Amino acid sequence: MIRNERKKLLMRFKSLKGIQDILPPETHIWQRIEHISRDIFKKYGYKEIRLPIIEATDVFIRSIGETTDIVEKEMYTFTDKGSRSVTLRPEGTAPFVRAFVEHHLYNEPSPQKYYYLGPMYRYERPQAGRQRQFHQIGVEALGVEDSKLDAEVISMLSTLLKTIGLKDVQLEITSIGCIKCRPDYRAALKEFLRDKLNNFCDDCKRRYDINPLRILDCKVPTCIENRKGAPSVINFLCDDCKKHFEGVQRYLNLLKVPHIINPNLVRGLDYYTRTTFEVKSSSLGAQNAVAAGGRYNKLVEEFDGPPTPGIGFAIGVERVISLVKETPHEHESPDLFLCTLGHEASEKSIVLAEQLRNRGLWVEMNYDESSLRSQMRKADRIHAKNVIVLGEDELKKGKVVMKDMQGKKETKVELDAEEILKVLQKKK
């Protein structure tokens, strides 16, 4: 009881609901995924862009769309001290396009290719696969409308997920047409929904007039049930969109990227045109999408930039990590632990440690007056590969004994960074 009370007192501060700390050794997996991503993006000519995590709220409303779930329900929006409405970014494309126009990046040779990685924020109910702070790795490629770019982007995503080690993932693609095909489809969809509208949730009833396409993305079970059999936009594509979509499929086949066409694939953002896609995993539960993206040919204009087509995707890093069933790395371990006895040895060891680190080694040392036994125990706990004991005697003779913690082999070596380095390198 007393212990629990104490625990409660000691735990006054906790991270916010749905917002998690990421600790070692899991951070190793994060680093590996980030490293693989950067490496692959580089080969396709993508450059990193680092954007703020907070933007004027309008940046998101204008682009994602007023009647989307993200804007209606999920945004972390608040008023700052200057009475401006600001929002923690729920996704990366809108801030990217804002920056693209602000810095005239459309003047760079096309396609302009950028990637980003970082946290996103959505006020959703935390559950498996859904956090309020989560991370995305995303790319954006602009300036080219040709379906070869769509196929290249999708193929790169597929290579990336494969290299990370994901298995059992399916790539679904579709085309949602352009502003030319939209009006006919919108009319057909409204026609289909008209008699059933009473069975839909209040949100959908409202969406019917403003943005009926959003009804297809509603997560309410009765709405899902009632919209079964709704017409699919893929049957309403104009000739140009049809040709574009055929191109995407042809090039994906040429590149041998396995994919299926899902005419019912709906994305939760309004800015998409033509190609949209999602990568799903059968090993995840209800939240089964690990990555998603699409083309946005009108978005740059929405931000007052010149007409510039674009396409991109974002990977949900937490979901990817939950699928790479790797045991977080066996511990990485220090090359050397310096045990010290006495003040003089301590002074020598802080200098020696620094010299060895500057030569590329991972060196840990003792910082206090603890006994040799406890220092050795510590070296063992942190899995130090080698240990050197520095006492008065060693300092006087200018020689130390290096002990290999695994083989228990002892080597005599001069008390000198270069000499110690040589011995350690020989062991590697």
Q: Are 258 and 279 in contact (CB under 8 A)?
A: no
Question: Nearer to ligand ATP by C-beta: 293 or 334?
Answer: 293
What CA–CA distance (Å, rounded) separates 123 from 252? 36
Alpha helices in 115-214 (DSSP H): 147-164, 182-194, 202-210
Q: Are 148 and 253 in contact (CB under 8 A)?
A: no
Q: How far is the CB of 120 from ligand ATP (least distance, A)?
A: 7
- Interaction residues for ligand ATP, span 151-180 (CB under 6 A): none
Alpha helices in 52-179 (DSSP H): 57-64, 69, 93-102, 147-164
Q: How far is the CB of 247 from ligand ATP (least distance, A)?
A: 23
- Interaction residues for ligand ATP, span 108-127 (CB under 6 A): 122, 124
Size of the site for ligand ATP (CB under 6 A): 18
Q: How far is the CB of 92 from ligand ATP (least distance, A)?
A: 9
Q: How far is the CB of 268 from ligand ATP (least distance, A)?
A: 4
- Interaction residues for ligand ATP, span 84-103 (CB under 6 A): 91
Question: Nearer to ligand ATP by C-beta: 199 or 287?
Answer: 287
Q: What angle do CA 3, 8, 14 make, to 5 degrees?
A: 140
Question: Nearer to ligand ATP by C-beta: 68 or 147?
Answer: 68
Q: Which of 95, 268, 312, 334 binds ligand ATP (CB under 6 A)?
A: 268
Binding to ligand ATP by residue 67, rule CB under 6 A?
no
Question: Nearer to ligand ATP by C-beta: 46 or 60?
Answer: 60
Question: Nearer to ligand ATP by C-beta: 284 or 424?
Answer: 284
Q: How many CB atoms lie within 10 A of CB 306?
A: 10
Q: Which of 41, 115, 116, 134 binds ligand ATP (CB under 6 A)?
A: 134
What CA–CA distance (Å, rounded) separates 174 from 170? 13
Question: Nearer to ligand ATP by C-beta: 4 or 15?
Answer: 15
Question: Nearer to ligand ATP by C-beta: 166 or 353?
Answer: 166
User: Which region among 8-16, 131-139, 148-156, 357-365 touches ligand ATP (by CB under 6 A)?
Assistant: 131-139
Q: Phi then psi for 320, rounded to 5 degrees?
A: -65, -45
Per-residue binding letters, 284-323, with ligand ATP (x by CB under 6 A) = ---x-xxxx---------------------x-x-xx----
Specify the DSSP element, H or E, that contains 347. helix 343-358
| Residues constituting the chain | 428
Q: How far is the CB of 59 from ligand ATP (least distance, A)?
A: 15
Question: Nearer to ligand ATP by C-beta: 62 or 385?
Answer: 62
Q: How far is the CB of 289 from ligand ATP (least distance, A)?
A: 4
Alpha helices in 227-271 (DSSP H): 239-254
Binding to ligand ATP by residue 131, rule CB under 6 A?
yes
Helices (H) and strands (E) in the chain, counts: 16, 16
Joined tokens for residue 119: 């946290």
CA distances to 146, 206, 253, 259 from 152, in Å: 10, 39, 11, 14
What CA–CA distance (Å, rounded) separates 168 from 176? 26
For the chain, the distance separating the N- and C-terminal CA atoms, rounded to the nearest angstrom, is: 52
Which parts of this chain interact with ligand ATP (CB under 6 A)? Answer: 91, 122, 124, 129-131, 134, 136, 268, 287, 289-292, 314, 316, 318-319
